[in-house]
Chains A and B, each alone.
Chain A
Amino acid sequence: MTQTDFIVLLPVLVLAGWALVLLLVDLFVPAGRKALTGWLALVGPAGAVLALTLWPNGGALTGFGGMLAADGFAVFLHLLFLGSAALIILLALTYLPRAGIERGEFYVLLLLTVSGMLLMAQAADLIVVFLALELLSIPLYILAGFARPRLSSEESAMKYFLLGAFASGFFVYGVALTYGAAGSTNLNAIVTAAQTGLVQGAAAAQALPVARSLLVAGAALILVGLGFKVAAVPFHMWTPDVYEGAPSVVTAFMSVGAKAGGFAALLRVFVTAFPGLAPQWASLLAILAALTMIVGNFAALRQGNIKRLLAYSSIAHAGYILMALPAAGSSFAAQSDYAVGSALFYLLAYALTTLGAWAVVMAVERQEGDGLALTDYAGLAARRPGLALAMALFMFSLTGLPPTAGFIAKFSLFRAAIDAGYLWLAIVGVLTSLVSAYYYLRVVVLMFMRPGAAQALARPTLDLAVGVTALATLLIGLLPGPLLDLAQRSVLTLTR
């Protein structure tokens, strides 16, 4: 391990290492005071952010023989993952004791899944992508069942595990086919193989033609595997049940972290390794994106449970982000970079808004999974005007109304799609956004207009999380410039 390898891996090392320390420390924390473990867990993300500062500013590093990249793309996503993790820890501090499931392992597993996400953003080799995917997923399977022996939580964990394992199978099969065709699992080597048409690793004298059909089949299987993770139609079936059954704080992290992790891999793998195949996968992905937007939004219309509603909403948003992929497959570097930058920005806006919305859900949720029906939000504005206002802001942002972060993100994404020639996709996006306005605004209507006895918990950490996300949602909506620039610059150093 050279010094460069070390620096490239340092954020993950810090986080995973701290998780191990925490596992040990937790043994000595008495049962009633597990909040201490939670507060200590915050050191992990903070340390990882510090480790990020060691990365060269603007340039790109690779480590472990090209398996890991440390570029702007990874920095942007690292900040997203670490920030989300910190918010989730804040939320868990109040949620876990109330749900009666306060155990120190929660924080350990959370940090471990985050380290999987970090690896996902950095992985430049299909084997590392696969392992990062597992590192991301397995702790989440366990966390989904954290509210054991509540049946719905166990069911959630079981479903998530079985379908996740199934998806991993597809992914590995895809990796195997790709390796068979290209002769390497390294993303750069695969792109070279696709460009030169020669299998990598063979001696020059015995140059072998790349089995293009094998490469396409491999890419398709990888798409299926990652499609499960980001909950894209038709691989979305698990989402509502899993989201509903898992403890809310876990669901919140799933809907943000696991999705962003999946998209990190999708973007890096498809934009880096398979640009030569773009004609084959771009139109397919465009159709998937359209289907995902349509199914997610229309199914959300009928939901009466806030967790299921947000689950379908997360499917719908996966569809919006998927729009960036066909655009990113454009042969013009500028269009492609813009699309990737828009996807990153969308992920950020989506993460902030969704985390905020989940924080409100956790504030309203009562013990034992009670207080999750939409009708439990009736009259919230009268009792907790600040909380209701924040929730309204999140709903507006998810709909994509100005002046919120969601609007800028959607606008940017639609532009990327139109620019790359997918006008019809942008039209589908706009129309489904309109559909989404109906169910998002219904929450707002309930909170502000209907009489009711909605109650919500008030705790400093909860209020802090809601406040931070609400402020960020609004601020990014008003002054998107700096962050958008950052997202756009992040892409230029994506390994090519």
Chain B
Amino acid sequence: MSIEVKVPQLPESVADATLVSWHKGPGDRVSRDENLVDLETDKVVLEVPSPTDGVLKEIRIQDGTTVTSGEILAVIEAGAAAAPEPAAAAAAAAPSEPAATAAPSDESAARSDAADKLSPAVRRLVEEHGLDAAMIPGSGRDGRITKADVMQFLERGPAPAVSPSSAPAAAAPPPVAGSRGERRVPMTRLRTRIADRMVEAQHAAAMLTSFNEVDLTEVMRLRKQYRDGFEKKYGVRIGYMSFFVKAAIEALRKFPVVNASIEDHDIVYHDYHDVGIAVSTERGLLVPVLRNAESMSFADIESSIVDYATRARDGQIQIGELTGGTFTITNGGVFGSLMSTPIINPPQSAILGMHKIQERPMVVDGEIRIRPMMYIALTYDHRIIDGREAVQFLVSVKESLEDPARLLIQI
């Protein structure tokens, strides 16, 4: 059956869009969600995904034409796709990659403890070779350095075998045996836009990242306890995001400057909290916004996120839902990220990064207990947010999550 592809709803401030270029021609097979055409507005470059599998029958509007909302761009004859669906789990776009060099500063505190407990042979080797024991990874009991560790270290040089955040982002791919060709692929409009915005963010803001860690035992306990009841009542699962949004908002209340933005030389404080939730799609990172999130209940938050995620995947998100936002939460944990330094979404002043929940041995009341831990990161604009606020913001988020009762009594 024939399906019309229309220009999506443009936001109020945008009158029209320019059709930049068609990626598919008449007679081409198209798959559901595949990008058909780019429309450029002042704010964003919109990609228009195919609503269905099938064949592009007719293109109604040519490159370079100005279009308005609702105009018919093309017609598709729906039918089963020959090509398989693009994989749903695409690698996340820009901001959440590993912080390789951040590791030593956290690890060296633990290392210097073990570094104090050097066995006689290790002491001799360290002294003989003028080594810094803190740099030597220890494979012995409690991370102690054995003689073998030192011997290996001397042989190999300082290659940290124990660092948890590996995956050097800039690793060159191994050369293909034989062929030495290149492929030049122009960036999509969306990719270009993202690239520009990332650099703009870096240049404009004085960005740095502060970290903390959260023990999610209590959150997990609550989720488990109320899982069935919540789902029964609201028809949506109680996830982690609602807790995180709530905790973030509580912290934003305490530190309003984190919710503010800079315009020229003014700091604009917002009395509302429009929290963007970063969602990864194959086309790239989208950040739909929860408007007035401070008024939303746990169920509202969860169902909104589910709704956004579904529509983002289906290419059904309206531009209006992507703009604005006073603060953003991003979650690299779903892809396995342990720790990262997210990039701020201008004109916002901060972004909260969630990561993988990993069971770690922690000291609780003087004893070692296994706890589900998550590192959290706040990248913030130091032009208006000081270290004190950033650190305490994270502490507030941590405390709210470790003791959710605080969210209830707003302390």
Chains A and B are bound partners: no
